[in-house]
Each structure stands twice: as structure tokens, then as C-alpha cells.
């Protein structure tokens, strides 16, 4: 049974018809080759059946250059139900979705093999990614790179970060809740340490927001009262001290007053609430009681600090010193792209900005990104698989 026949028999729908491979120059990352088995080493060569074929995970440059004799392929797998949802949401880096090829098709990076290019002409291939869809090409490349470029936080540090990543994963899809709504504005969470080999560590949690989510303000010009803070907010956030609220409590307060109301929050108040939310998230970075019984874990971290950023202001220098917290739900399925066609932010904008919701919905006030978030470009370890070409 061919790969197309196997797929059609599975759910009644067909995949693109594979065409003969006349030259490697016609192949691209994500293309699906009708290979029926690949080799996995397990106490000797072991055959792994791939009834739905295998997708090319090598980059285009590795595929077409004559001095690169081999390419890497990974098995195609079909997922449905909860498993497919988790894979689409980015919760499982093992899988990379190929909706252009088939709605249920995923690259399974658990099973990768190397093939000599000279043998490729024996097979047929079909496009797995629409080459005209730049966003889709980038998404697949980044997803492949993610599998190999994720930073391995020290074992004794992971228990400190687990509550933060767990909270984000649990609440992100609950978009009707205040916390889920707030999480939609977060692009990335990055963790910084001056030296990952030293102990104890001083960690910085960088909460990186969509441009325009956090209003701008000018403390030197408060004629309009934009730098005033109502007493109840000072008490709620314990400004000047350590916040004692949970992320859910801060998010509830953030959205307790709808924009446009007479008593809606001003820009400075909104900034402080968002910063309070980032602090509340950082407070989650504590090991469980069980993990804390291990001295290596309990003594691994000395402090956890939160810093709030807009994604068009997060500096490259901080990106190089930090590592992304692998909560891929935040990034969404489509990477940032086509920025050259977006208008440049107005550098002469007034200091009194609209509320966060208005700024998000009004393209003139939102402020478009000036550059791609560096953390999505510097996939150094996974560069060969994840770099866009």
C-alpha cells in the first residue's frame, strides 16, 4: 500500500499525489517522501515502518548542495483528538504540524533517519509545506529548530520554574477569564542568570509583551494626572514592597474596570498593574514542598526578579544572556513576519496613551514591531533545522 493509499484508507481523504524525484534541487524542508521504512539503531540496525512516508527535516541548503551527501527525514504520523490538540498548541515539541499536506499530518521527530541523496530518485515526494506561504515556511522551520535548540535548565533549577510554566499552560486557553485574557498579551517568557554554573542563582524572569499592550507614560509630564496612582492600587500591589497577590488576583484587578469608564486606569496605573502581574508570576518560581526537601534544589536559587518589556524594546543583549522558557503556547502557530510592510511607530506620539485594550485594537496606537523578537531568531543549536531560508 502506498503512502497516499494508506492515508485515504485511514480517513477517506487523500493527500497530495507524490511526484517522481528528478533532482534534489526540487525538494524543500517539509516535503513528504513516500519512504515506507527508515532505520533506527537499537543494538543494531532496526527497521521502523513509516506507512505514511517521511518528511524532510534538513534545510534547503543542505538538500541542494552537492557537498552535502545526506539528508535527514522524520516519520509522518497522523494525530487526532487531544493528542493532536496538544501538538498543535505546541505542548509537544516532538510533533510539527503539516496542515498543507493533510489536516491530521505531523512530523514525528522521535524517529529521524539519514538518507543518502543518491537513493532519493528511487522514491516520490509531495509538498508538505506551501512554498508560497512565507508564514507557514517559517513556522515549520522554527518548530523543527525548537526541538533541538531548547535550553536545558539545570536539573535542580527546573523545580523552581515548573510552577510558572504549569500556570501558563493551564490558564492560557481560558481566554474568557481575566488571567487567560492577560496571557494573550504575553509573547515570550525568558529566564536570565549571570552564570548558570554558579550556586545559588539570581534569576530574572523577563515577561515580554506584545507592542502596545503596556501603555507608555512620561513621569516628567503629569499635568494631565497620567502619573498619579490611586491609593487602593498602591495598597493592592503593595507598591514599594513585595507583591503578595497571585497572577489571577492581579489579572482580575486589571480588568475590573473596563476602558472608557470615568474611573478607568491611567497609563501609569496600567503599567504598574502589568508590572505587578509579572512580579506575581515570578513569585510562582518556588519548588514544591516535596522538592524543597532536596538541599540541591532548595539551595539552587537565591532570588527571582521580574522585569516587564514590550517586544519592540527587549534588547538583543538581554536576549543573548537569557533563555526562553519553553511554553510554546505563548508564541502561537504563526511567527512574526512581513514586518517591512508595517508602518513605523510614531516616535512623536503623545505621552498620554489609550488604555491597553484600545491600544491593542487600534493599529494607529498599537505601535507595530520594529524588528523580529531576537529570541525567535537566535536558534543557534537548532540552526541547521530551524533557520528560515
Q: What is the pLDDT along the chain (389 residues), one digit of tens a residue?
A: 344 445 444 554 678 888 888 788 889 999 999 999 988 887 777 889 999 999 999 988 888 888 888 999 999 999 999 899 888 877 788 999 999 999 999 999 999 999 998 888 889 999 999 989 999 999 998 888 888 777 889 999 999 999 999 999 889 888 999 999 999 999 999 999 989 989 999 999 999 999 989 887 665 555 455 568 889 999 999 887 888 999 999 999 999 987 778 788 988 899 999 999 999 999 999 999 999 999 999 999 999 999 999 999 999 999 999 998 877 545 443 333 333 343 344 444 433 333 333 333 433 333 222 222 333 333 333 444 555 45
DSSP state of 81: H
**Has residue 179 been placed in a domain?**
yes
Q: Which of 100, 118, 149 is the last residue of a domain?
A: 149
Beta strand pairing call for 201-209 and 301-310: parallel
- Tell me: do 345 and 283 sit in the same domain: yes
Q: Which of 127, 149, 171 is the last residue of a domain?
A: 149
Closest CA to 360 of 256, 162, 214: 214
For every residue of 132-191, DSSP letters joined together read T-HHHHHHHHHHHHHHHH-----TTTHHHHHHHHHHHHHHTT-TTSHHHHHHTTEEEEEE
**Has residue 8 been placed in a domain?**
yes
**Has residue 386 been placed in a domain?**
no
Q: What length is written for the chain?
A: 389
- Tell me: do 132 and 258 sit in the same domain: no
- Tell me: do 145 and 170 sit in the same domain: no
> Could you count the other beta carbons within 10 Å of the beta carbon of residue 317?
9
- Number of domains forming the structure of the chain: 2
CB 286 within 8 Å of CB 159: no
**Has residue 361 been placed in a domain?**
yes
- Tell me: do 142 and 178 sit in the same domain: no
- Tell me: do 43 and 138 sit in the same domain: yes
**Has residue 382 been placed in a domain?**
no
- Tell me: do 187 and 54 sit in the same domain: no
- Tell me: do 142 and 166 sit in the same domain: no
- Tell me: do 67 and 181 sit in the same domain: no
**Has residue 383 been placed in a domain?**
no
**Has residue 385 been placed in a domain?**
no
Is 96 buried (19+), middle (13-18) or exposed (0-12) by CB count in 10 A? buried
Residue 15 structural domain: 3-149
Q: What is the pLDDT of residues 148-169, one digit of tens each?
A: 777 889 999 999 999 999 999 8
The C-alpha cell at 248 is 489571577
Q: How far apart are CA 336 and CA 350, in angstroms?
A: 27
- Tell me: do 192 and 288 sit in the same domain: yes
- Tell me: do 265 and 290 sit in the same domain: yes
**Has residue 333 been placed in a domain?**
no
- Tell me: do 138 and 243 sit in the same domain: no
- Tell me: do 139 and 203 sit in the same domain: no
Q: Which residues pair with 45 in a beta bridge?
A: 41
Q: Which of 149, 166, 189 is the last residue of a domain?
A: 149
Helices H / strands E in the chain, number of each:
15, 13
Angle at 235 between CA 234 and CA 236, to 5 degrees: 95
Amino acid at each position: 500500500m502506498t503512502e497516499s493509499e494508506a492515508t485515504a484508507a485511514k480517513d477517506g481523504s487523500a493527500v497530495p499525489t507524490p511526484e517522481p524525484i528528478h533532482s534534489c534541487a526540487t525538494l524543500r524542508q517539509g516535503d513528504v517522501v513516500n519512504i515506507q521504512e527508515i532505520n533506527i539503531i537499537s543494538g543494531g540496525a532496526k527497521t521502523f515502518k513509516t506507512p505514511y512516508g517521511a518528511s524532510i527535516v534538513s534545510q534547503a541548503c543542505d538538500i541542494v548542495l552537492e557537498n552535502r551527501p545526506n539528508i535527514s527525514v522524520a516519520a509522518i504520523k497522523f494525530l487526532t483528538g487531544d493528542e493532536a490538540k496538544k501538538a498543535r498548541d505546541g505542548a509537544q515539541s516532538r510533533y510539527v504540524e503539516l496542515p498543507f499536506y493533510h489536516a491530521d499530518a505531523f512530523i514525528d521527530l522521535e524517529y529521524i533517519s539519514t538518507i543518502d541523496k543518491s537513493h532519493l530518485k528511487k522514491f516520490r515526494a509531495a509538498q508538505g509545506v506551501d512554498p508560497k506561504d512565507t508564514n507557514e515556511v517559517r513556522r515549520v522551520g522554527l518548530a523543527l529548530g525548537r526541538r533541538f535548540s531548547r535550553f536545558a535548565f539545570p536539573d535542580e533549577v527546573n523545580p523552581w520554574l515548573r510552577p510558572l510554566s504549569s500556570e501558563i499552560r493551564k490558564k492560557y486557553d481560558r481566554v474568557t477569564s481575566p488571567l487567560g485574557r492577560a496571557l494573550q498579551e504575553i509573547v515570550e517568557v525568558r529566564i536570565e542568570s549571570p552564570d548558570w554554573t554558579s550556586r545559588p542563582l539570581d534569576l530574572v524572569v523577563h515577561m515580554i509583551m506584545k507592542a502596545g499592550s503596556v501603555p507608555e507614560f512620561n513621569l516628567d509630564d503629569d499635568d494631565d494626572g497620567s502619573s498619579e496612582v490611586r491609593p487602593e492600587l498602591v495598597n493592592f500591589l503593595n507598591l514599594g514592597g513585595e507583591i503578595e497577590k497571585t497572577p489571577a488576583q492581579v489579572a482580575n484587578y486589571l480588568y475590573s474596570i473596563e476602558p472608557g469608564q470615568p474611573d478607568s486606569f491611567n497609563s501609569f496605573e496600567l503599567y504598574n498593574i502589568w508590572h505587578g502581574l509579572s512580579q506575581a508570576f515570578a513569585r510562582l518560581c518556588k519548588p514544591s514542598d516535596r522538592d524543597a526537601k532536596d538541599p540541591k534544589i532548595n539551595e539552587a536559587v537565591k532570588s527571582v526578579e521580574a522585569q516587564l518589556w514590550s517586544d519592540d524594546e527587549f534588547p538583543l543583549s538581554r536576549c543573548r544572556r537569557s533563555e526562553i522558557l519553553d511554553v510554546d503556547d505563548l508564541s502561537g502557530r504563526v511567527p512574526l513576519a512581513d514586518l517591512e510592510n508595517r508602518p513605523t511607530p510614531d516616535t512623536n506620539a503623545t505621552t498620554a496613551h489609550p488604555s491597553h485594550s484600545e491600544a491593542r485594537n487600534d493599529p494607529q496606537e498599537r505601535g507595530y514591531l520594529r524588528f523580529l523578537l531576537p529570541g525567535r531568531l537566535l536558534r543557534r543549536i537548532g540552526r541547521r533545522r530551524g533557520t528560515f531560508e
